[in-house]
């Protein structure tokens, strides 16, 4: 069975903190994605990775960075959290030309 696991379901952080969101997949998929989802704005792509150590910016990369040191793990880093980064963060994985599978989501609140 397909499994995409995000490290936290709920997270509360303070403004200015460095925040790490972790995503692990067990499907050996090449592609991994980080999205954020906000009411009325849908799913917006932050970054994606198509191979180990490879990454591409999505539509809203500002304020975020990513790391993919191993094929199964893709990390999203908020260098200095701000209140406008309060959101639901979704990790997804995908083999080429197939559907995407999602983790359970991390609801991040920055206070």
- CB of 62 within 8 A of CB of 47? no
Tell me whether residue 35 or residue 74 sits nearer to another protein (CB atom). Answer: 35
Query: 19: which 2 tokens?
Result: 């925040």
3-state secondary structure of 75: strand
The token duo for 43 is 């799913």
Shortest reach from residue 105's CB to another protein, in Å = 5
The residues of the shown chain that bind another protein, judged by CB under 8 A, are: 31, 33, 35, 40-43, 45, 48, 50, 56, 58, 90, 92, 94, 96-105
CB nearer to another protein: give 82 or 98.
98
* 50, 38 Cβ separation under 8 angstroms: no
CB of 71 to another protein, least distance (A): 15
Check: CB of residue 81 under 8 Å from CB of residue 88: no
Residue 14 vs 42, nearer CB to another protein: 42
């Amino acid at each position: 069975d397909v499994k995409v696991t995000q490290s936290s379901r709920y997270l509360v952080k303070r403004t200015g903190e460095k925040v790490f969101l972790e995503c692990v997949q067990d499907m050996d998929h090449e592609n991994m994605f980080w999205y954020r989802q906000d009411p009325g704005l849908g799913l917006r792509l932050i970054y994606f990775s198509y191979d180990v150590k490879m990454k591409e910016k999505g539509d809203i990369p500002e304020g975020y960075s990513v790391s993919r040191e191993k094929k199964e793990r893709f990390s999203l880093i908020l260098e200095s959290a701000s209140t406008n980064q309060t959101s639901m963060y979704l990790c997804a994985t995908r083999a080429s030309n197939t559907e995407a599978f999602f983790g359970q989501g991390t609801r991040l609140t920055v206070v």
